[in-house]
Amino acid sequence: MMKIRLLTIVLLSVFCLQSHGFQLNPQEGAERIDFDATRKQNQWVVLGQLKRIQGNLIAEQDVRVDGRVTSWMWKWPSGLSVQAAFNYIVEQAKPSSTTLFECEARGCGMSNDFANQVFSQPLLYGRDNDQLYWVGYNPDAGFGRIWLVYTNERTNKGVHLFAQRIDLERGQKDRLKPFLTQGQYQTLFSQKYLILQTLTPGKARLSEENVQWLKELLQAHPIKRFAIVVHRYAEGDPQSLLDRTIDEAGDLRKQLADAGGFVKNVYSHGAGSHLPRSGQSSRIELVELSGK
């Protein structure tokens, strides 16, 4: 009976880890130095350069949140660079996240402060010029999910990478809203498009949250030009799919206008299945058009 109970506990633990997506996959040959999963209050998330002012450690921007904090620490295999280690982990979290902050070298601040004051991991201390740091946020995962990735190299101890995932408790989203808006603007204007939401087989409709975000964007950037683009991928006649997305895109623009959005410089475009992006499914995109 004891063995059955023990097996049940182990299986439930594995299920919980998998269902909450706690696992990151490091480079083959990486040595795991530390792992921890704990509920924490007032967890510090650095969203700007760290500075020392009269001996006090201050971040240009930061936020404190409550949630379940899962942390990993690895020593990367010899021969691989800080950048390679950083990219390997960030690329696993970035597709579902909006970048809130990223920095490199002295633009982050002092490595000693990140290692000892922010993450409490002395092995992360290294040359200031070698450090890399990224913070991403996905508001649609549970009550919101934050990812942090930091890596550095010490001459005699190799490349170490620290990753952290914070699954927010209910009621924390408002703390992240100004940083999310800022990050979404930066993402939109740097890559020239932003995925607003994925689509189900049913009728395309903007969420109330996205309608409000678009209204604020158009108010903040009244002379920029944008297109609402609908992409759908399904079996069947490509022309019918194209016609459907054209109608849906027009309806989404009308939805935004009916909600009071300034749509003079907003256009609609149905792409059907003709403009795929690698790894993406049916979705609504906002595209920044060239020129003003």
- Asked which of 173, 201, 228 is the last residue of a domain, the reply is 173
Label residue 281 by pLDDT band (50, 70, 90).
confident
186: DSSP letter? H
| Residue 232 located in a structural domain | yes
- Kindly state the percentage of the chain with pLDDT values over 90: 71
Q: What is the Cα–Cα distance from 37 to 166, expressed in whole angstroms?
A: 10
| Residue 181 located in a structural domain | no
| Residue 280 located in a structural domain | yes
Same domain, 224 and 264: yes
Label residue 21 by pLDDT band (50, 70, 90).
low
Same domain, 107 and 134: yes
Is residue 92 over pLDDT 80? yes
Same domain, 155 and 198: no
Name the β-bridge partners of 161.
74, 151
* Burial class of residue 273 in the structure, from the number of CB atoms within 10 Å of its CB (0-12 exposed, 13-18 middle, 19+ buried): middle
**Sheet with 226-231: strands ordered across:** 193-198, 283-288, 226-231, 266-272
Same domain, 125 and 198: no
Q: What is the Cα–Cα distance from 249 to 253, expressed in whole angstroms?
A: 6
For residue 213, CA distances in Å to 166, 176, 222, 259 come to: 24, 14, 14, 12
- Asked which of 139, 173, 207 is the last residue of a domain, the reply is 173
Same domain, 132 and 40: yes
| Residue 187 located in a structural domain | no
- Asked which of 109, 144, 173 is the last residue of a domain, the reply is 173
Same domain, 144 and 32: yes
What local confidence, expressed as pLDDT, does residue 245 receive? 95
Encode pLDDT of 32-53 as tens digits. 999 999 999 999 999 999 999 9
Label residue 55 by pLDDT band (50, 70, 90).
confident
Structural domain span for residue 152: 20-173
Instruction: Give 219 or 2, the one with higher predicted confidence.
Output: 219
For 75, the token pair is: 């020593």
What CATH number did the domain enclosing 258 receive?
3.30.1330.60
pTM for the model stands at: 0.74
Encode pLDDT of 241-270 as tens digits. 999 999 999 999 999 999 999 999 999 999
* 176: nearest Cα among 101, 120, 248: 101
| Residue 186 located in a structural domain | no
Encode pLDDT of 150-188 as tens digits. 999 987 778 999 999 999 999 999 999 889 988 889 889
| Residue 209 located in a structural domain | yes
Q: How many domains, in total, are found in the chain?
A: 2
Is residue 279 over pLDDT 80? no
| Residue 182 located in a structural domain | no
What local confidence, expressed as pLDDT, does residue 19 receive? 37
